[in-house]
Amino acid sequence: MREFLLKNTCILKYIDLNGIKVFDSATVDTSILSFEKIKIKENTFKYLSLNNELLKNYDFEISAIKEFLNISQNSLSKESFTFSDENTSALKAKIERIGTPLKEWYGLNINYGIKTGYNEAFIITTEKRNEILAKCKDEAEKERTAKLIRKMLRGRDIKRYSYEWAGLWVIFIPWHFPNVEKPKTMLENEQDSKEQYPSLYKHLSSHKERLSKRNKDETGIRYEWYCLQRWGANYYQEFEREKIVYSEIVRKPQFYLDTKLNFYAEATSFILTGENLKYLIAFLNNDFVAFIFKTFYAGGNLGENGFRYKKAFLEKLPIPKINSKNQKLANELINLVDDILKAKEQDKNANTQGLENKINSLVYKLYNLTEEEIKIIENKE
């Protein structure tokens, strides 16, 4: 749609309703767009970012509103419509000049959490886990089975530098289990699973009818009925590494650094692995970085639900790489993150705002922002 509008129309006016609830059923922000189906080389249109305060002042008489900005249509792209004045556009250009998009960071990987296809079977409580283990016939089976049941974080469990574990576990059953490396026939794989993990097999069998109906084109064809729908075949080892875990849809940034390899991630969350994770999480949890992400890279807001850290969006976010010139600032940043993590480990509700304010100042310095540029940001946040 964006590409069509840019190629075939002349935009006249764009009014962004910014989370104002117009339609009860809509989960994304609503906008009002007017255009002519003609194409001219250079076009400037009127843009308004509306909020409830403006609505009160003008009683929704659009013609009376004076706060319209003039925006060049050529400044928009088919990937996203980012509406910004001259100062904000200049700020974006500077950020992109100094920072490197995460997609271009060597060895950095962003991956989805596990998609079970039927959570009732695979995501279990501590009580159910204990019940499954208690029904194992011997210690060897219990030990094998316990290795397959891993602590899990959902998107809603992840907080800023911390988490609130809900006592949930995921049963990690890859395709062709237990013969993942050298698959046999599906019937043989199932028989081996039944013989080697009888207690776990019995639990999954109680959900067989629903599990078998998950995806008719895949279940029983590409993978066995008792396996996860998507288990991260190309990256499942990443769950066992130090990683940043984060929620996809948020109102504020919520990134947690799992240094003890405690958790697997569920479908409503992502994992980020690679080097310099303490350095990166300082940026990702920073309000200024969240502002530039929302403004320039998030592809639009989700109304009252906030915004979305979609993989394709986050990969565009430019963050300054560590180099010889900024190494000292980077070390200071990492030390502050260490202090926050220690505080949160002792008390998940610890107030770390003072430390985060210091990080804020360092982030500004790492982007080489001037006092005037900082004022632009703080007036818009």
Tokens of 77: 């792209």
pLDDT band for position 82 (cuts 50, 70, 90) = low
> How wide is the angle at C-alpha 375 spanned by C-alphas 373 and 379, nearest 5°?
125
- pLDDT tops 80 at residue 367: yes
Q: Please report the pLDDT score of residue 307 as a whole number.
A: 86
Instruction: Return the domain boundaries, the chain.
Output: 2-83, 238-380
How many other C-beta atoms are found inside a 10 Å radius of the C-beta of residue 127?
A: 9
User: How does pLDDT run across 240-270, given as a tens digit for each residue?
Assistant: 999 999 999 898 999 999 998 889 999 999 9
Q: Please report the pLDDT score of residue 28 as a whole number.
A: 59
| Neighbouring-strand partners of residue 171 | 149
Residue bearing the bigger pLDDT, 220 or 338: 338
Tokens of 1: 């749609």
Mean pLDDT in residue range 84-113: 90
In angstroms, rounded to a whole number, what is the distance separating the alpha carbons of residues 321 and 99?
A: 7
Residue 321: C-alpha distances to residues 104, 244, 315 (Å): 10, 17, 14
User: How does pLDDT run across 163-205, given as a tens digit for each residue?
Assistant: 999 999 999 999 999 999 999 999 999 999 999 999 999 999 9
The dihedral sign for the CA sequence 21, 22, 24, 26: negative
Residue 244: C-alpha distances to residues 95, 99, 269, 270 (Å): 23, 20, 10, 8
In angstroms, rounded to a whole number, what is the distance separating the alpha carbons of residues 343 and 347?
A: 6
Burial class (CB in 10 A: 0-12, 13-18, 19+), 330: buried
Q: Can you say how many angstroms the Cα of residue 219 is from the centroid of all Cα atoms in its chain?
A: 28
Q: How many residues does the chain have?
A: 381
Mean pLDDT in residue range 144-155: 97
Three-state secondary-structure class, residue 258: strand
User: How does pLDDT run across 297-352, given as a tens digit for each residue?
Assistant: 887 655 555 788 999 999 999 999 999 999 999 999 999 999 999 999 999 999 99
pLDDT band for position 355 (cuts 50, 70, 90) = very high
pLDDT band for position 60 (cuts 50, 70, 90) = low
Q: At what angle do helices 198-205 and 139-148 cross, to 10 degrees?
A: 50
Least confident range from 86-95, 151-160, 330-339: namely: 86-95
- Supply φ then ψ for residue 112, to 5 degrees: -70, 155
Q: Please report the pLDDT score of residue 268 as a whole number.
A: 92
Element (H, E) at 70: strand 69-72
Helices (H), the chain: 2-8, 52-58, 86-98, 119-122, 126-134, 139-148, 186-196, 198-205, 208-212, 277-284, 287-292, 311-314, 327-346, 353-366, 371-380
- pLDDT tops 80 at residue 84: no
* Percentage of residues in the chain having pLDDT higher than 70: 87
Q: Please report the pLDDT score of residue 298 as a whole number.
A: 84
Q: Please report the pLDDT score of residue 304 as a whole number.
A: 55
For the whole model, what pTM was predicted? 0.82
Find out whether 344 and 163 touch, Cβ atoms under 8 Å.
Answer: no
pLDDT band for position 15 (cuts 50, 70, 90) = confident
pLDDT band for position 2 (cuts 50, 70, 90) = confident
Tokens of 156: 């809603």
What does the CA dihedral 62, 64, 67, 72 come to, rounded to 10 degrees?
A: 60
Amino acid at site 187: L
Contacts of 76-82 with CB under 8 Å at 24 or more apart are 76/2, 76/6, 77/2, 77/6, 78/2, 78/3, 78/6, 79/2, 79/299, 80/2, 80/296, 80/297, 80/298, 80/299, 80/300, 81/2, 81/14, 81/300, 82/295, 82/296
